């Protein structure tokens, strides 16, 4: 699911795929045990839930974690049975915005129809696509025609990611379908908020 908004209340734990699979099998137990460890040190944060992607486990908390919280969580994770600690990297907090664009999107993607692509359809396409699972948007999607008379669109996507850009890198140059058309995700320059022009919606 694509989540809108600057959710910094997360602790991202990069680890191997094998470690991720083992850890996620008992995620409810890990939530309870991690919270107990945090309470024992009188920490103000608690774990709400845990999810994963292909490169990391993400622990979502009720408040933004500080360095002492990261140490407690890391200490617990590395003591979990069957976890290979060599393949667990330094815990990270999402701190940076990165910028992407989806190109080659047809304005009229529907077969045998003059109905143009709407913003709600764009949101639905991204939400339903597995490659955007756990991607956190920093702002609203921006859909822009290449030019006033063009039948081609660009979607600008701004996301939160860690400094290593692991999620961003996993998306760059990936392709997916919009109806029968194939579109591509590319890296983009920073897109400052501007007044909506006649080519945007």
DSSP 3-state assignment of 99? strand
Task: Find all residues with CB under 8 Å of 132, minimum gap 6, and list them.
Answer: 2, 126, 171
Task: Supply the DSSP symbol for 115.
Answer: P
Please name the residue that has the structure tokens 């760059």: 172
DSSP 3-state assignment of 27? helix
Q: What distance, in Å, lies between the first and last C-alpha atoms of the chain? A: 22
Verify that 74 and 138 share a domain, yes or no.
Answer: no
Residue 89: predicted pLDDT: 80
Does residue 158 belong to any structural domain of this protein? yes
Identify the domain boundary among 41, 63, 87. Answer: 87
Verify that 107 and 165 share a domain, yes or no.
Answer: yes
Task: Find all residues with CB under 8 Å of 105, minimum gap 6, and list them.
Answer: 117, 152, 153, 154, 155, 178, 181, 183
Identify the domain boundary among 55, 87, 119. Answer: 87
Residue 200: predicted pLDDT: 43
Distance in angstroms (rounded) separating the CA atoms of residues 167 and 165: 6
Does residue 197 belong to any structural domain of this protein? no
Distance in angstroms (rounded) separating the CA atoms of residues 13 and 125: 28
Q: Going residue by residue through the chain (201 aa), what tens digit of pLDDT does each one get?
A: 444 444 678 898 888 889 999 999 999 999 999 999 999 999 999 999 999 988 889 999 999 888 899 999 999 999 998 889 888 887 877 767 889 999 999 888 877 667 888 888 888 989 889 899 878 787 788 899 888 888 899 999 988 887 678 889 999 999 999 888 999 999 998 754 544 444 444
Q: Which two tokens stand for residue 89?
A: 């990297």
Verify that 72 and 126 share a domain, yes or no.
Answer: no
Does residue 183 belong to any structural domain of this protein? yes
Residue 191: predicted pLDDT: 59
Verify that 74 and 114 share a domain, yes or no.
Answer: no
Domain with 46, as residue range(s), is 8-87
């Amino acid at each position: 699911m694509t989540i809108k908004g600057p959710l910094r209340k997360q602790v991202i734990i990069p680890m191997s795929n094998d470690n991720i699979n083992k850890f996620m099998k008992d995620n409810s137990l890990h939530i309870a045990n991690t919270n107990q460890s945090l309470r024992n040190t009188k920490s103000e944060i608690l774990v709400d839930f845990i999810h994963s992607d292909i490169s990391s486990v993400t622990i979502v908390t009720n408040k933004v974690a500080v360095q002492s919280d990261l140490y407690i969580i890391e200490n617990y994770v590395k003591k979990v049975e069957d976890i290979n600690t060599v393949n667990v990297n330094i815990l990270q907090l999402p701190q940076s915005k990165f910028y992407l664009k989806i190109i080659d999107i047809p304005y009229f993607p529907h077969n045998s129809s003059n109905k143009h692509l709407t913003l709600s359809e764009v949101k639905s396409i991204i939400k339903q696509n597995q490659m955007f699972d756990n991607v956190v948007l920093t702002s609203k999607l921006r859909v822009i025609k290449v030019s006033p008379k063009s039948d081609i669109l660009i979607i600008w996507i701004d996301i939160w990611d860690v400094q290593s850009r692991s999620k961003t890198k996993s998306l760059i140059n990936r392709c997916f379908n919009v109806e029968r058309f194939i579109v591509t995700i590319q890296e983009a320059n920073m897109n400052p908020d501007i007044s909506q022009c006649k080519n945007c919606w």
